[in-house]
C-alpha cells in the first residue's frame, strides 16, 4: 500500500528525497483551463528549492512550443525543454535509440505536433498533414497506394485526419519495406476534454494494428521509451526521480514500468479504490490529496 | 481429418447427401476476373440436379444487386436472392432478430452496400455516404459531435471513407444511447485484391472497438448470424446444407460454428497444411482439389 502524505514533515521528507519531479498536467496541475488549487505555488516552491521539473504528456497533436503556450496562458513558469510529449519522445527515440538513417523517412499518421518534432531532430517524413494524403479515395481505387522504399518507419498518433488512404499506404510500407519500424506515440483509447471523452490515439492506431496483426512499439506513457528519453538526455539518477500523476494506468504505471517512485494525487481521474483493489493496474509509492498541499512549505 | 474426395463415386455421394450448397466465391468460383477451371459447369450441374445454390460473401461495400453484376459479367447464372452479403445479413438481423424499432435509426460506418440493404428492409439510417459525415474536422473541434437519441444501432463495415467525425459520432451514440447495438458486418483484417492485400473491414471497425473497450456483434463469416439468416429465411434443414470455401478461418469456421458440414477446395488461400496442423482454426468435413472436379458427373 502507498504511503499517505499528510503532514508538513511528510512533504519535507518527500521534497528532500528527490531531485527530479516529472508531472502529468491534466488532473494534476490543471483541469481544462483552470489551475487546480495551489499547484502553481508548489511548482514555484520546488524550483526555489533547486529541483528539476519536467512535464510529460501523451498529447502528440501539438509541438512542445505549442504546449508551452498553455503554460504561458495560465501563468505557470515553464521552459520548452522541460516539456516532453509523446511526439518529441518519439522523434528522440528514432534519432537516438534507433539511429534512424538520414536517407530514410518516416511515414506519419498524425497531426502537426509529430511533424514539428521530426523537423526538430532533422528526420524526413511524408504523410501527416500533406494534403495529398488527406483525401478520401474512391471505393476500391488503389491507384494511389504505391510502394515507397524510402519509408523506414511508420509513426502513428492521434489523427483527426485519419483516412483509408493513409492506412493503406502505411500498411503497404510496413509489409514491403524490410525492417520498417511500426511505432505509436501512445495507445490511449480515449482522451477527455470538456467533461466528455472522444476516441484517442489508440483508436487511430487500431486499424493498422488490426490489418498487420501486430502491435506497435509504444513511446508514450505507460511504456518506457519516454522516460528513458528524459533519463538519457539529462543523465539523471533514477533513484532521485519522482513521477506525479492522477491516472494509475498511464502515469503511475509509467513510473512502475520505468522503475522510478510515484506520487498519485486525487484531483483527477483515479481515486483510492483504484489502487486498493486486488487487480490494481499499478501502485503508487505515495498518495497526496492535491499537489497544492505541498505549497504549505513555501 | 477430412475425407478426401477423388473419384466420381465420391462426388456422387456428396451431391446426393446435401440439398443446399453455400459458396464462397473468391478462390472457389473465381479469382479476380477469371472463373476457376470448370466451377461454372459444376454450378450448372448442381442446379440441374435440383439443388439450391447460395453465394455468401463478407463484402459489404456492394449491394446484392451490384454483386449480381459480377456474376452476369462472368456468365454465371445467379439470382439476386441467392446472394447473401454481410450487409444484407446485417439488415436482416436488425429487422428479424433485433426487431429494430421503426422510430429508431442505424448510424452507418460504411459504404453504399450497407445503405442499400437497410433501404431494402425499410430501416432508417444516418452517417454512411452522407456528405455531412464524410469530411475532416479541424483539430480538437468537436462542435459537430452532438447527441442523437434516435440512433438505436451502429453498424460498421469496410469504409474507405472512414474518418474521425464518424467515429466520434458513433462513439458518442454508443456511450449515451441506452441499449444502442454495436454491430460489424465482418472483422476481416485484410482483403485480397489484384494479388495484394489492403486493410479490411476489421481494420475500419477497430477504432470504435478500441475507444469503447468492447467488441461488436459480428454478422458475417465466420460468425453465426449470416447462416442463421439463410436458415430462417428458407426454413432449411441444417443437416442437408454444405458450406464450400477456400479459407479455414472464415468459410470453414463459418460452417463449423453454424453446425453444418463443410467442403474445402484448394484453389484459393489455404492449403492442406492449414487443417493438418495441431492448432488448426477449423477442420473441413471434406477436401476437394477444385470445385470444377465435380462437373465430371455432368
Tell me the chain A residues in contact with residue B190 when contact means C-beta distances shorter than 8 Å: 211
Average pLDDT, chain B: 96
Positions of A marked catalytic: 24, 26
Starting at the edge strand found earlier in the chain, the sheet holding B151-156 runs B124-127, B105-109, B151-156, B181-184, B217-218
B10 is in an annotated binding site: no
Q: Tell whether the model's pLDDT for residue B229 goes beyond 90.
A: no
For Cα atoms A197, A202, A203, give the angle at the middle one, nearest 5 degrees.
70
DSSP one-letter string for chain A: -PEEP-SHHHHHHHHHH-SEEEE--BTTTEETTEE-TTHHHHHHHHHHTT-EEEEEE---SS-HHHHHHHHHHTT----GGGEEEHHHHHHHIIIIIS---TT-EEEEES-HHHHHHHHHTT-EEEETT-GGGSSPPPTT--TT----TTEEEEEE---TT--HHHHHHHHHHHHHSTT-EEEES---SEEEETTEEEE-HHHHHHHHHHHHTSPPEE-STTSSHHHHHHHHHHT--GGGEEEEES-IIIIIHHHHHTT-EEEEESSSS--HHHHHSTT-S---SEEES-GGGGGGG-
> Pairing state of beta strands B20-23 and B241-245?
parallel
Binary contact (A210, B203; C-beta < 8 A): yes
| pLDDT, position A187 | 96
B103 is in an annotated binding site: no
Give pLDDT tens digits for B100-144: 999 999 999 999 999 999 999 999 999 999 999 999 999 999 999
Binary contact (B199, A145; C-beta < 8 A): no
Q: Tell whether the model's pLDDT for residue B195 goes beyond 90.
A: no
* Residue of chain A with shortest Cα separation from B140: A160
CB-nearest to B199 from A189, A197, A211 is: A211
> Complex ipTM above 0.85?
yes
- Other CB atoms within a 10 A radius of the CB of residue A204 amount to 28
Identify the band that residue B269 occupies on the pLDDT scale cut at 50, 70 and 90. confident
Contact call for residues A7 and A15 (beta carbons, < 8 A): no
Active site residue B237: no
* C-alpha separations of B97 from A271, B100, B101, B149, B225 in Å: 42, 8, 11, 22, 9
| pLDDT, position B32 | 81
Contact call for residues A56 and A23 (beta carbons, < 8 A): yes
Residues B137-147, buried b or exposed e (16+ Cβ, 10 A)? bebeebeebee
Tell me the chain A residues in contact with residue B209 when contact means C-beta distances shorter than 8 Å: 206
Residue A92, C-beta contacts closer than 8 angstroms, at least 6 positions apart: A121, A229, A233
* Residue of chain A with shortest Cα separation from B138: A160
Binary contact (A61, B140; C-beta < 8 A): yes
Distance CA A58, CA A160 (A): 16
Binary contact (A163, B162; C-beta < 8 A): yes
Q: Which candidate in B154, B160, B186 is best for mutational testing of the A interface (most A CBs within 10 A)?
A: B160
Binary contact (A204, B138; C-beta < 8 A): no
| pLDDT, position A2 | 96
Tell me the chain A residues in contact with residue B142 when contact means C-beta distances shorter than 8 Å: 193-194, 198
Residues B270-294, buried b or exposed e (16+ Cβ, 10 A)? beeebbeeeebbbbbbbbbebbbbb
Tell me the chain B residues in contact with residue A210 when contact means C-beta distances shorter than 8 Å: 189, 199, 202-203, 206
* Residue of chain A with shortest Cα separation from B209: A203
Tell me the chain B residues in contact with residue A140 when contact means C-beta distances shorter than 8 Å: 61, 160, 193
Tell me the chain A residues in contact with residue B198 when contact means C-beta distances shorter than 8 Å: 142, 145, 168, 171, 211
Contact call for residues A164 and B204 (beta carbons, < 8 A): yes
Tell me the chain B residues in contact with residue A160 when contact means C-beta distances shorter than 8 Å: 136-140, 164
Q: At what angle do helices B164-176 and B201-212 cross, to 10 degrees?
A: 50
Q: Tell whether the model's pLDDT for residue B275 goes beyond 90.
A: yes
Mean pLDDT along residues B285-293: 98
What is the nearest CA distance from A192 to chain B, expressed in angstroms? Answer: 11
What is the nearest CA distance from A104 to chain B, expressed in angstroms? Answer: 24
Residue B274, C-beta contacts closer than 8 angstroms, at least 6 positions apart: B248, B280, B281
| pLDDT, position B192 | 82
Q: Which of B24, B116, B261, B293 is an active site residue?
A: B24
Which of left, alpha, beta for B209 (phi over 0: left; psi -120 to 50: alpha)?
Answer: alpha
Binary contact (B199, A210; C-beta < 8 A): yes
Give pLDDT tens digits for B12-50: 999 999 999 999 998 999 988 899 999 999 999 999 999
Length of chain B, in residues: 298
Pure H helices in chain B: 8-17, 39-48, 64-73, 86-92, 112-120, 164-176, 201-212, 225-234, 253-257, 272-276
Binary contact (B206, A206; C-beta < 8 A): yes
Binding-site positions of A read 24, 26, 221, 246
CB-nearest to A211 from B137, B163, B190 is: B190
Q: Tell whether the model's pLDDT for residue B208 goes beyond 90.
A: yes
Q: Tell whether the model's pLDDT for residue B222 goes beyond 90.
A: yes
Binary contact (A199, B209; C-beta < 8 A): no
Better-scored residue on pLDDT, B94 or A195: B94
Distance CA A212, CA B249 (A): 16
CB-nearest to B200 from A190, A204, A211 is: A211
Q: Per-residue pLDDT tens, chain A, 298 aa: give them.
A: 899 999 999 999 999 999 999 999 989 999 888 999 999 999 999 999 999 999 999 999 999 999 999 999 999 999 999 999 999 999 999 999 899 999 999 999 999 999 999 999 999 999 999 999 999 999 999 999 999 999 999 999 999 999 999 999 999 999 999 999 999 999 999 988 878 899 999 999 999 999 999 999 999 999 999 999 899 889 999 999 999 999 999 999 999 999 999 999 999 989 999 999 999 999 999 999 999 999 999 9
Binary contact (A142, B193; C-beta < 8 A): yes
Identify the band that residue B293 occupies on the pLDDT scale cut at 50, 70 and 90. very high
User: What domains, with CATH codes, occur in chain B?
Assistant: 3-58+222-297 (3.40.50.1000), 89-218 (3.40.50.1000)
Amino acid at each position: 500500500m502507498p504511503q499517505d502524505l499528510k503532514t508538513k514533515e511528510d512533504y519535507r521528507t518527500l521534497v528532500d528525497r528527490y531531485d527530479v519531479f516529472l508531472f502529468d498536467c491534466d488532473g494534476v496541475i490543471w483541469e481544462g483551463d483552470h489551475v487546480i488549487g495551489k499547484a502553481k505555488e508548489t511548482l514555484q516552491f520546488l524550483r526555489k528549492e533547486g529541483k528539476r521539473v519536467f512535464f510529460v504528456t501523451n498529447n502528440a497533436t501539438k509541438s512542445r512550443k505549442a504546449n508551452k503556450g498553455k503554460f504561458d496562458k495560465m501563468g505557470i513558469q515553464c521552459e520548452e525543454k522541460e516539456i516532453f510529449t509523446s511526439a518529441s519522445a518519439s522523434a528522440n527515440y528514432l534519432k537516438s535509440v534507433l539511429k534512424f538513417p538520414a536517407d530514410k523517412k518516416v511515414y506519419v499518421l498524425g497531426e502537426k505536433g509529430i511533424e514539428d518534432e521530426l523537423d526538430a531532430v532533422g528526420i524526413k517524413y511524408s504523410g501527416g498533414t500533406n494534403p495529398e494524403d488527406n483525401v478520401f479515395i474512391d471505393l476500391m481505387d488503389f491507384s494511389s497506394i504505391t510502394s515507397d522504399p524510402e519509408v523506414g518507419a511508420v509513426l502513428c498518433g492521434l489523427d483527426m485526419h485519419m483516412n483509408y488512404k493513409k492506412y493503406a499506404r502505411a500498411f503497404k510500407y510496413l509489409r514491403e519495406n524490410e525492417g520498417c519500424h511500426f511505432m505509436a506515440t501512445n495507445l490511449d483509447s480515449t482522451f477527455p476534454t470538456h467533461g466528455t471523452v472522444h476516441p484517442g490515439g489508440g483508436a487511430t492506431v487500431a486499424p493498422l494494428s488490426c490489418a498487420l496483426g501486430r502491435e506497435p512499439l509504444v513511446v508514450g506513457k505507460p511504456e518506457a521509451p519516454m522516460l528513458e528519453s528524459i533519463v538519457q538526455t539529462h543523465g539523471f539518477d533514477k533513484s532521485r526521480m519522482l513521477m506525479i500523476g492522477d491516472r494509475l494506468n498511464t502515469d503511475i504505471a509509467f513510473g512502475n514500468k520505468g522503475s522510478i517512485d510515484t506520487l498519485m494525487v486525487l484531483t483527477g481521474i483515479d481515486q483510492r479504490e483504484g489502487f486498493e483493489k486486488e487487480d490494481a493496474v499499478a501502485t503508487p509509492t505515495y498518495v497526496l490529496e492535491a499537489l497544492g498541499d505541498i505549497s504549505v512549505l513555501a
